[in-house]
Amino acid sequence: MAEYPKDGQKITVQDGKMVVPDNPILGYVEGDGIGPDITRACLRVWDAAVKKAYNGTRKVHWMELFMGEKAAEKFGGNYFPPETLELMKEVVVSIKGPLTTPVGGGFRSLNVALRQDLDLYACVRPVRYYEGVPSPLKRPEEIDVIIFRENTEDVYAGIEYQSGTAEAEKLDVFLRTELKAKGFFEKSGLGIKPISAFGSKRLVRKAIQYAIEHKRESVTIVHKGNIMKFTEGAFRNWAYEVAREEFAEHIITEEELYSKYNGKQPEGKIVIKDRIADIMFQLMLLRPSEFDVIATMNLNGDFLSDAIAAEVGGVGIAPGANIGDNIAVFEATHGTAPKYANQDKVNPGSLLFSGVDMLEYLGWKEAAALIVAAYPEVLKRKFVTYDFARQMDGATEVSTSRFADEIIKQIESMGDATEVQARRTKAIQQERKQREDLRVAKPMEQMVASGRTPHTVGDIMAMSLVTVRPNVTVEEAMHLMRKNRISSLIVQPDDDSNDWGIMTQTDVLVKIIHANRSPAAVKVGQIATKPVRAVPSDTSLHDCVTSMTEGNIRRVVVEKNGVPIGIVSDTDVFRTVEEFGWLPAE
């Protein structure tokens, strides 16, 4: 019953890539409750932006698709008719308002059904600040992230059994007797958390592809792998695997950023890093500018996207999309707010910005940029819907449609939106540079402050090595150590061997003072320990300490290609474990 528009062409997919004509047919679902109000308003704004940006050479041909209550009326009670599913596949890109989930048994949530039936495995939620939007943060402008939340697995897979049922009892017995599982009370409700390599990798792949295409700075993998090793920990490992195996020329890891590049991010490379989920919430409040693209599992992503959205204006303006392999359904992230239905009252921001992301997804960046630039201008004049008006002094409360009129007026009066975009790009670059300078100047301090948990010697090593030739006198070497406030020196190989050595304060005490020799008469090469005990930078802290214990030494040298690049002492390991804790391997 949905009808194709008279004009327009369908988007096609060739060799896995979308081909977007200048007159694409896009689907839209009006939605329930406040859906029709916001959809009507947004369609006008998107069309105005496209018209202004391309002078009429590009135009969207909209096709209404039916889901929710409107579908139920037309399709004899069917809230999600099969034809809508098919048409969403055919038109490739659609946008939808919020939908009511019918109450009563036997209904899947329409949104869940949509994700599952179209295999839209990535829930993509960009969150950024727009000037003038009320925010509880001191510097909300630092927030500009895009969250890729896995949409199909995790505890949302629906494999759970109610306490006291035969199924829960059966699973309980199986876990205790067959798998010898412990640590849960009898008659618990039980749920299963499936996390697969397939599901994790396709999500992370999408996040990295996005980061590359949009020249973003980093991709952060958020997980709770320190506790749930084989689900969340595995997600982290698979994420790094996909990054290394499929995007080697585009990425570096955060470990390499410090160990190989001394904190300087090479041009054009994206840093892959990971953070523990609970710390991430804190970091998004305290150091949000360090995060960019975020990739995480279903439950973490659910919490995190709402929490970050709340930092910059709440769900009223947070956009979202569910994306699979090419097929994408953009959507308002809030619900149907039934008490405001048909009052022309609510904020169209969430759907509006979902449309902005949709335009970017099509590659129509200029039209998207116009809306992004127009929005804060209208806010500056304090023309806002009721939800912002109640948080702003001196605001003029306007209706949904009036707000859209103001945005359109602004778009039509604007010059080149690329200028606004260029200013923003410049500000982001400056801010990145400042952070880089700090990383270079104070690597350990910055690493700790940025919430990274050190895992390897490369993470905690001191890079300020002082090396000397073996024929330098011990006296000279001692002056050098005092001047640099260090307790050991690295000794270069002599003519006879390629072995590097190390001379420590203890060597001086034992082999010079205790042995009653003159430091001016003894050469460093004569008392240095050779060859130095060295480990590669990816050595775990556990293996590093094993090496120290076996060699009865207090420090190891970190090497790369046979050349020392850093040094780790027992004090460094002690401090790290004191600060970050220690999870013994099982």
Interacting residue ranges for ligand NAP, rule: CB under 6 A: 34, 98-101, 111, 316, 331, 334-337, 346-347, 350, 387
Which residues fall within 8 angstroms of residue 205, CB to CB, at 6 or more apart?
242, 246
What's the closest the beta carbon of residue 31 comes to ligand NAP, in angstroms? Answer: 7
**Of residues 257 and 329, the one with the C-beta less far from ligand NAP:** 329
CB 455 within 8 A of CB 541: yes
What's the closest the beta carbon of residue 27 comes to ligand NAP, in angstroms? Answer: 16
Cis ω on the peptide bond leading into residue 531 (within 30° of 0)?
yes
* Nearest residue to 491 via CA among 462, 460, 523: 523
What's the closest the beta carbon of residue 332 comes to ligand NAP, in angstroms? Answer: 6
State the amino acid at position 87 in one-letter form. L
Q: What CA–CA distance (Å, rounded) separates 531 from 549?
A: 17
At 447, is the secondary structure helix, strand, or coil? helix
Q: What CA–CA distance (Å, rounded) separates 382 from 376?
A: 9
**Of residues 35 and 564, the one with the C-beta less far from ligand NAP:** 35
What's the closest the beta carbon of residue 33 comes to ligand NAP, in angstroms? Answer: 6
What's the closest the beta carbon of residue 118 comes to ligand NAP, in angstroms? Answer: 15
Q: Which residues participate in catalysis according to the annotation?
A: 156, 224, 278, 302
User: Which residues are 29's β-sheet partners?
Assistant: 96
Q: What CA–CA distance (Å, rounded) separates 314 from 311?
A: 7
* Nearest residue to 565 via CA among 337, 260, 317, 180: 260
Enter the DSSP assignment of 22: S
**Of residues 161 and 388, the one with the C-beta less far from ligand NAP:** 388
Which residues fall within 8 angstroms of residue 46, CB to CB, at 6 or more apart?
60, 355, 359, 367, 371
What's the closest the beta carbon of residue 113 comes to ligand NAP, in angstroms? Answer: 11
CB 204 within 8 A of CB 251: no
**Of residues 204 and 398, the one with the C-beta less far from ligand NAP:** 398
Q: What CA–CA distance (Å, rounded) separates 425 from 95?
A: 28
**How many residues appear in the chain?**
586
Classify residue 191 as exposed, middle or buried by CB count within 10 Å of its CB (0-12, 13-18, 19+): middle
**Of residues 347 and 537, the one with the C-beta less far from ligand NAP:** 347
**Of residues 69 and 366, the one with the C-beta less far from ligand NAP:** 69
**Of residues 291 and 388, the one with the C-beta less far from ligand NAP:** 388
What is the rounded end-to-end Cα distance, in angstroms, of the chain? Answer: 60
What's the closest the beta carbon of residue 421 comes to ligand NAP, in angstroms? Answer: 26
| C-alpha pair distances (Å), 392 with each of 352, 381, 385, 482, 557 | 21, 11, 11, 60, 58
State the residue number with the nearest CB to ligand NAP.
Answer: 335
State the amino acid at position 193 in one-letter form. K
Classify residue 378 as exposed, middle or buried by CB count within 10 Å of its CB (0-12, 13-18, 19+): buried
